[in-house]
Amino acid sequence: MKTYKELTEELDEVLGFAARKAVGRRMKMLAKKASTKMKKKLNKMRALSHDKAKQKAQKSVRKTFMQKIAGKGKDLASMSLGQKANLEKKVDKKMKSMSSRVQALVKKTSKVMVKKHRAAKQVAMAAKASKK
């Protein structure tokens, strides 16, 4: 059995093309499962924890940096895997050089994420109430 340290080191490694594709296929299958759909529905009803909000904010800030580096007109989804890998390397380098600024952005975006989640929760609660 792997230790926690070995597992985290494994997760920190950059995924290759084949591994990235395999993860994508696995996630696509998981997204279709009824249990996953139910969990997502239940999570909409729960309050967003501080850790989850921070995680979502980090993802959002990273995506914003990627879009800025790629250019406004570029669609990130239509880029090839090689282009995405190069872009991710550039983003990592830029984010490391601006670490304090990035942390401030994450903190600010985290609050926005909590507000968005609250709004989505209100909509989900209203939809649930109207069904009854």
Domains in the chain: boundaries:
4-131
CA distances from 2 to 9, 10, 43 (A): 11, 10, 30
Phi, psi of 68 (to 5 degrees): -65, -45
Cα-atom radius of gyration of the chain, to the nearest Å?
18
Quick one: pLDDT at residue 4?
62
pTM > 0.85: no
Quick one: pLDDT at residue 127?
87
Distance between CA atoms of residues 59 and 113, nearest Å: 11
Pick from 67, 63, 26, 55: nearest CA to 114: 55
Quick one: pLDDT at residue 36?
93
Quick one: pLDDT at residue 119?
93
Q: Residue 20 class from Cβ within 10 Å (0-12 exposed, 13-18 middle, 19+ buried)?
A: middle
Walk along the chain (132 residues) and give the pLDDT tens digit of each residue. 566 666 666 655 667 778 888 888 999 999 999 999 999 989 889 988 999 999 999 999 999 999 999 988 888 888 888 888 889 899 989 998 988 999 999 999 999 999 999 999 999 889 888 887
Phi, psi of 73 (to 5 degrees): -75, -15
